[in-house]
């Protein structure tokens, strides 16, 4: 089982997995499925566990004391994937008494007690609304030697008030809202995340400043429906104002956001993007379908003309904007004419990238019970045509950048072939993936000098449908505080309020107990 990085030094007294005289923290690993919201929730889970005294397991440790699965209910076969992994973990747990398994996230919110019924070796099940309770539930399950299932129907505390262990030294997620007020027929998220809850602008900006103070250069504002931000306190222009306020934060070089809904997109947001220098000219705006009939069946409250109109305004204000999207193929009742309309919109929109999905039933959604579910072979054939059309367009759009010099924020793990090719990778300001050479014109390698989080300017020499290459020497390299943090192995941590959660790890200075004494 994959685990995260960290440091393990032994066991602490009273640990069910071995009593001894050393006091050390228990280890943990978090396994994440799903969207950016889940990724950020996992950062909070890690922050909670570390503030409660746990340490992250080293990558070679396949038996951490705690394994947390942060699940998704949107992706196809999400439940099969979870139960498969739980099944593989059962014999590991049987051999290591005291090991604990927790399941949280959207699938836990949906399946609730069924998880313990299907996998009785699970110790804790918690939902999307009570992430902060995890350390308490783990301790209670350990003390009572029984599974703890706690699912709340509404948010008990806004997640961003919880401590967070950030995974990146240079880029950070910042939630501006949780939940969703839309009723899309294919989506179960509103039922699992609840109604939209908005943070106050001052709290958001304080978190952004805290990240920047730790060296973070790029922030992504995150919400299920990010541009409806402000609905809870009655300001439909709140999101544009928030973007402009981010422009006043010294040291913040890039601002992104995901994902906006076309129905809530206002002209003031386009103006804020164009007029605020650190807001990136990149926009991810889900289309889902180009057919108005299908959009109506999906209960998406916009039509293709409205969607294309937004894109036209964005490009008029920002000709260099890169626009990406999500598209679902094979929604119930979709005809060949409907699908052709999707292809038409794709060709007119000229997306720089698209996440394409084959529709599949999600239990609990209205679409799952609709008539005219399409045969798998029809959906597959349309999907392949869509992918071919998207790649033709994205390749052509990428080729337009050959010869252009772009600014790249150096990243970790973006280029799987980097080690073999001698390149490094990162994201341009418009979000495109760039693989760049690390040798100067006279053959000197810069690989040891360029760090994740640094800024490189480089000239594009080759374009592929999903990435760009820059095979010449970098034009410029700027070392940053984010790069310093990466070199030092520091991860940003944002504090939170634990509200009485217990500390699980070793006492700081107390003497070791005499042999034979049991800790309580």
CA–CA separation, 88 vs 113, rounded Å? 20
Confirm if 192 and 207 have CB atoms less than 8 A apart: no
Q: How are strands ordered across the β-sheet holding 218-222?
A: 171-175, 218-222, 254-258
pLDDT for position 39 = 84
184 is in an annotated binding site: yes
What residue spans in the chain does CATH classification 3.80.30.20 cover? 160-400
Distances (CA, A) of 406 to 319, 369, 457, 460, 519: 15, 48, 6, 7, 59
pLDDT for position 501 = 37
517 is in an annotated binding site: no
pLDDT for position 422 = 79
137: closest CA among 25, 12, 49, 28? Answer: 49
106 is in an annotated binding site: yes
pLDDT for position 75 = 67
| Torsion sign (Cα): 33, 154, 181, 219 | negative
Options 3.30.70, 3.40.50, 1.10.3470, 2.40.50; which CATH number does 404-494 get? 2.40.50
246 is in an annotated binding site: no
280 is in an annotated binding site: no
27-150: CATH class: alpha beta
Taking the domain 160-400, which CATH number applies?
3.80.30.20
End-to-end CA distance of the chain: 31
CA–CA separation, 134 vs 14, rounded Å? 20
CA–CA separation, 96 vs 501, rounded Å? 26
Q: How are strands ordered across the β-sheet holding 423-428?
A: 462-463, 468-470, 433-437, 423-428, 405-410, 455-459, 476-478
pLDDT for position 166 = 77
pLDDT for position 76 = 63
Indicate the length of the chain as a whole number: 520
- On the 0-12 / 13-18 / 19+ scale of CB atoms within 10 A, 316 is exposed
Q: What is the mean pLDDT of each run of 10 residues along the chain (520 residues)?
A: 34 39 73 82 87 86 90 75 90 91 90 90 90 90 91 72 78 89 88 86 93 94 92 93 97 95 95 98 97 97 97 98 97 98 98 94 89 96 97 97 98 79 92 93 83 96 97 94 89 53 36 32
Dihedral pair phi/psi, residue 282, rounded to 5°? -135, 140
pLDDT for position 165 = 78
189: closest CA among 361, 73, 42? Answer: 73
What residue spans in the chain does CATH classification 2.40.50 cover? 404-494
What residue spans in the chain does CATH classification 3.40.50.12160 cover? 27-150
pLDDT for position 157 = 65
pLDDT for position 21 = 42
Give the pTM: 0.80
pLDDT for position 47 = 86
pLDDT for position 168 = 84
Identify the bridge partners of residue 256 per DSSP, sorted by sequence position.
Answer: 220
């Amino acid at each position: 089982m994959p685990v995260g990085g960290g440091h393990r030094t032994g066991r602490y007294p009273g640990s069910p997995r071995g009593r001894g005289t050393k006091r050390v923290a228990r280890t943990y690993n978090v396994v994440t499925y799903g969207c950016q919201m889940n990724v950020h929730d996992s950062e909070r889970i890690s922050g909670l566990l570390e503030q409660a005294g746990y340490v992250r397991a080293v990558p070679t440790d396949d038996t951490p004391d705690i394994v947390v699965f942060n699940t998704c209910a949107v992706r196809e076969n999400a439940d099969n994937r979870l139960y498969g992994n739980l099944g593989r973990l059962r014999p590991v747990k049987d051999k290591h008494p005291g090991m604990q398994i927790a399941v949280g996230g959207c699938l836990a919110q949906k399946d609730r007690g069924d998880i313990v019924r299907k996998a009785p070796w699970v110790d804790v099940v918690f939902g999307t609304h009570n992430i902060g309770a995890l350390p308490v539930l783990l301790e209670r399950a350990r003390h009572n030697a029984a599974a703890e299932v706690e699912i709340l129907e509404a948010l008990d505390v806004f997640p961003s008030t919880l401590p967070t262990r950030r995974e990146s030294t240079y880029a950070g997620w910042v939630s501006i809202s949780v939940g969703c007020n839309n009723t899309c027929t294919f989506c179960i998220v509103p039922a699992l995340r609840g109604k939209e809850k908005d943070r106050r602008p001052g709290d958001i900006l304080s978190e952004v400043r805290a990240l920047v103070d730790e060296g973070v250069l790029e922030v992504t504002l995150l919400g299920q429906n990010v541009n409806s931000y402000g609905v809870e306190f009655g300001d439909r222009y709140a999101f544009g104002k928030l973007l402009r306020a981010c422009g006043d934060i010294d040291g913040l070089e890039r601002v992104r956001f995901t994902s906006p809904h076309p129905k809530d997109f206002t002209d003031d947001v386009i103006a804020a993007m164009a007029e605020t220098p650190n807001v990136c000219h990149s926009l991810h705006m889900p289309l889902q379908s180009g057919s108005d009939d299908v959009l109506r069946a999906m209960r998406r409250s916009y039509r293709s003309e409205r969607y294309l109109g937004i894109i036209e305004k964005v490009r008029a204000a920002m000709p260099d904007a890169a626009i990406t999207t999500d598209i679902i193929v094979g929604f119930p009742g979709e005809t060949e004419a409907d699908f052709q309309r999707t292809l038409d919109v794709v060709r007119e929109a000229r997306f720089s990238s698209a996440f394409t999905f084959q529709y599949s039933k999600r239990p609990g959604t209205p679409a799952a019970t609709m008539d005219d579910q399409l045969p798998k072979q029809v959906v597959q054939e349309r999907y392949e045509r869509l992918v071919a059309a998207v790649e033709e367009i994205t390749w052509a759009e990428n080729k337009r950048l050959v010869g252009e010099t772009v600014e790249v924020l150096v990243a970790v793990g973006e280029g799987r072939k980097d080690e073999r090719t001698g390149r490094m990778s990162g994201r341009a300001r418009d979000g495109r993936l760039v693989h760049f050479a690390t040798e100067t014109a006279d053959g000197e390698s810069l690989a040891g000098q360029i760090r994740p989080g640094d800024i490189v300017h480089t000239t594009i020499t080759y374009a592929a449908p999903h990435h760009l290459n820059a095979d010449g020497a970098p034009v410029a390299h700027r070392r940053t505080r984010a790069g310093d943090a990466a070199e030092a192995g520091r991860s940003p941590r944002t504090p939170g309020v634990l509200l009485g959660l217990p500390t699980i790890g070793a006492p700081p200075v107390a003497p070791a107990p005499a042999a034979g004494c049991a800790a309580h």
